[in-house]
């Protein structure tokens, strides 16, 4: 455990790209053993604080840049949430549902039945009016449902 902690604290992090966490906090590298009686130049407190401020500013800027980059990539796959209302008709995704009468999944419909929204629990969840034969919880995530479109017959 100690060797793992040593490696983590002594490695340059990919987000900061400045220095190791130990170096950012104490402005010196972790000691791996060796001669503890080695004489070093002791810097003044003002020099130390100035260097520490600089390291913290660099690390903060690198973390801010990494955060913006992560947000940009995460936002690429996000879309606006749809506004669901009570009494809307929706179709339920069958991806994770188990049907005993239909053992072959690849021949099954992607969405089943138009169900009515009984209640909007939150912007991410709705409660559906499901038949008692469906043995799932009536509150589902909105990613499981799509709008029901009436089919026009000619």
Q: Let me know if residue 81 belongs to a domain.
A: no
Residue 47 sits in the same domain as residue 96? no
Q: Is the CB of residue 147 less than 8 Å from the CB of residue 88?
A: yes
Q: How many domains does the chain have?
A: 2
Q: Which of 3, 27, 1, 24 lies closest to 13 in space, CA to CA?
A: 24
Model confidence over 32-53: pLDDT tens digits? 665 555 566 767 888 888 888 8
65 shares its domain with 12:
yes
Burial call 78-116: b when 16+ CB within 10 Å, e when fewer: eeeeeebeeebebbbbbeeeeeeeeeeeeeeeeeeeebe
18 and 58 within one domain? yes
- Within this chain, do residues 14 and 71 fall inside the same structural domain, yes or no? yes
User: Of the candidates 76, 105, 121, which is a domain's last residue?
Assistant: 76
Q: Within this chain, do residues 54 and 28 fall inside the same structural domain, yes or no? A: yes
Is residue 142, in this structure, part of any structural domain at all? yes
Range of the domain at 140: 89-147
Write out residues in the chain with pLDDT < 50, as ranges. none
Q: Does one domain contain both 110 and 71?
A: no
Spatial CA neighbour of 112 closest among 87, 86, 136? 136
Average pLDDT, rounded, for the chain = 76
Same domain? For 103 and 54 the reply is no
Give the 3-state secondary structure of 125-150: EEEECCCCCCCCCCEEEHHHEEECCC
**Whole-number pLDDT of residue 67:** 92
Same domain, 101 and 53: no
pTM of the model: 0.47
């Amino acid at each position: 455990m100690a060797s793992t902690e040593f490696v983590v604290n002594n490695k340059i992090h990919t987000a900061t790209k400045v220095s190791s966490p130990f170096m950012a906090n104490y402005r010196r590298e972790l000691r791996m053993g060796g001669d503890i009686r080695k004489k070093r130049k002791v810097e003044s407190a003002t020099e130390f604080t100035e260097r520490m401020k600089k390291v913290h500013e660099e690390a903060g800027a690198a973390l801010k840049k990494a955060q913006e980059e992560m947000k940009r990539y995460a936002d690429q796959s996000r879309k606006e949430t749809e506004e669901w209302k009570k009494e809307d008709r929706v179709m339920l995704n069958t991806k994770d549902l188990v049907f005993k009468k239909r053992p072959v999944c690849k021949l099954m419909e992607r969405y089943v039945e138009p169900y009515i929204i009984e209640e909007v629990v939150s912007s991410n969840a709705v409660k559906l009016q499901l038949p008692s034969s469906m043995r799932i919880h009536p509150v589902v995530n909105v990613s499981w449902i799509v709008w029901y479109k009436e089919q026009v017959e000619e």
